[in-house]
Amino acid sequence: MDQQTLILVGAFGGAAMGVVGGLVGTYFSIRNTNGPRERGFVVRVAVLSWLAITAFLAALWSIPKPYDLLLWLPYMAALPFAVRAWNRRQEQIRREESDAGTSSGP
């Protein structure tokens, strides 16, 4: 195989592995929820994440190289905060659903 073929195989293979990993992670995130509100929240966050990452990659692909840093900086800054906020909200929903299931009525 020549070098260009190896580059293409690596690019498409890496992209395919990334998508499959994302799909598996999404599946298990939804599957491991405990209640309907939590599941609905996780589905919404998963859809939003897939759309946002797809838009980011499309923008990254369409912007000339020296300017792609203008996309990477806000992405890398916002991602940890978004993940932390989503995890906190999911945990809050999980606690609320757990409390609602264990409380006894009058």
Q: pLDDT digit string (tens) for 52-96?
A: 999 999 999 899 888 888 899 999 999 999 999 999 999 999 999
CB atoms within 10 A of CB 38: 22
Q: What pTM value is reported for the model? A: 0.82
3-state secondary structure of 76: helix
Three-state SS string over the chain comes to CCHHHHHHHHHHHHHHHHHHHHHHHHHHHHHCCCCHHHHHHHHHHHHHHHHHHHHHHHHHHHCCHHHCHHHHHHHHHHHHHHHHHHHHHHHHHHHHHHHHHHCCCC
